[in-house]
Amino acid sequence: MDDYKMMHLGIKKGEVGAYVFLPGSPERSEKISKYFEHPVKVAYNREFLTYTGTLDGIPVSVTSTGIGGPSTAIAVEELFSCGAHTMIRVGTCASTSPKVGIGDIVIPNGAVRMEGVGLHYLPIEFPAVPDYFLVKELESAAIKLGYKYNIGITISKASFYTQTNPETKPVANELIEKWSAYEAGGATSTEMESAPLFLVGSSLKIRTAAVLVSATNFHEYSNDKRNYPGDLEHRAIETGIEAMRAVIRKDLGRE
């Protein structure tokens, strides 16, 4: 069975490291791979682009997940089947709080389950939370790199346009009321993958976390040049890389 190729990712055991980065877009997968030593493209099927290389001599990989929970869950399941046990999402988000501005690093310490995939893994009462050790290493990395950062709750939604244009939807009142409640409760960002990532990770008993960079200020885009994420995404990538290096060192007892 070690020769079996995963149905969606097109990878096999031995082709990916135990430590994996999970961006959404294939383009960002390629960018992250450039931080590896000796990166090699392993597979590219549908939205899933995988590279494997090393960090300080230890095998690591990056796999793009596409947008949203269903494809994220598929990626995590298939990477786990090939031996991965530590996964950090490297992505983007929007601000839902004055605490977060454009270009800030966001490290979720929990996620609102405004999605559906998680219900196929754990009951709604079970919280969507990342691995605490990974969160602390991501925070240490952001501090080391000098990036302004926020640790807080993210809102993982299943639909992009029901957030950006809720008033156009038949269930507008429900959407607007829920969103207002999430903000009033102190959520600081929104994106589409963290809750399912954390919940799948919990069910598989593996470590997961996320590091994001904000595309917006609170309640406004505030980026007239439309240069996002190209000019800012390196902040999340560098924070993730720095954190993963530290995680690997500590796992190996090198510090």
The pLDDT value recorded for residue 69 is 96
What is the domain count for the chain?
1
In a domain, residue 113? The reply is yes
CATH code for the domain of 191: 3.40.50.1580
Q: Are 136 and 91 in contact (CB under 8 A)?
A: no
Residue pointed to by tokens 């000796």: 38
pLDDT, residue 255, reads: 72
What's residue 202's pLDDT?
Answer: 98
Range of the domain at 244: 19-250
Q: What are phi and psi of 55, to 5 degrees?
A: -120, 120
Predicted pLDDT at 1: 55
pLDDT for the residue 113? 98
Mean pLDDT for back-to-back runs of 10 residues, the chain (255 residues): 86 97 97 98 97 98 97 98 98 96 96 97 98 98 98 96 92 95 97 98 98 91 55 94 98 87
Q: Is residue 65 part of a domain?
A: yes
Identify the pLDDT of residue 223: 52
The whole-number pLDDT of residue 230 equals 58
181 within a domain of the structure (yes/no): yes
Distance, CA of 248 to CA of 185 (rounded, Å):
35
The Cα diameter of the chain in Å comes to 56
Tell me whether residue 12 is in a domain: no
Distance CA(229)–CA(12), nearest Å, equals 31
Taking each helix axis from N to C end, the angle separating 132-145 and 233-251, rounded to the nearest 10 degrees, works out to 120
DSSP 157-190: ES-SHHHHSGGGSTTHHHHHHHHHHHHHTT--EE
Main-chain dihedrals φ then ψ at residue 82, nearest 5 degrees: -100, 10
The answer as to whether 11 is a domain residue is no
Q: Would residue 77 count as lying in a domain?
A: yes
* Total residues found in the chain within this entry: 255
The answer as to whether 14 is a domain residue is no
Which of 58, 171, 163 is closest to 115 using CA atoms? 163
d(CA 14, CA 109): 31
Contact in structure between 204 and 76 (CB atoms under 8 Å): yes
In a domain, 9, yes or no: no
